[in-house]
């Protein structure tokens, strides 16, 4: 029996359906060593975040002033992962 491969759309759809992360939009205000970024969200909070694994894998560059989407854990709203860079 042949194994069915999931399409790329299905791969990204799984990430969007996660309900255990809080997603916020914001702007990168500071860049730290070790791949850490400081992000000021549209809600006014300041969050420290790093790139998610998929962004590192595909070498998506993020620089100062970029608009990004940050996924925050509901347990600690001061740390997060950058999951999307706006074009």
Q: What is the set of domains in the chain, with CATH numbers?
A: 20-85 (2.40.50.140)
**Across residues 5-33, what is the average pLDDT?**
75
Does the pTM surpass 0.85? The reply is: no
pLDDT in tens, 22-77: 999 999 999 999 999 999 999 999 999 999 999 999 999 999 999 999 999 999 99
Rg of the Cα atoms in the chain: 14
Residue 10 has pLDDT above 70, yes or no: no
Strand 76-85 to 36-41 pairing: unpaired
pLDDT of residue 16: 55
pLDDT of residue 51: 96
């Amino acid at each position: 029996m042949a194994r069915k491969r999931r399409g790329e759309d299905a791969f990204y759809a799984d990430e969007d359906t996660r309900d255990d992360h809080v997603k916020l939009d914001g702007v990168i205000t500071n860049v730290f060593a070790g791949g850490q970024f400081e992000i000021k969200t549209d809600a006014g909070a300041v969050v420290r975040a790093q790139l998610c694994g998929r962004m590192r894998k595909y070498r998506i560059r993020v620089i100062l002033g970029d608009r990004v989407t940050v996924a925050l854990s509901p347990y600690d709203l001061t740390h997060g992962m950058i999951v999307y860079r706006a074009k």
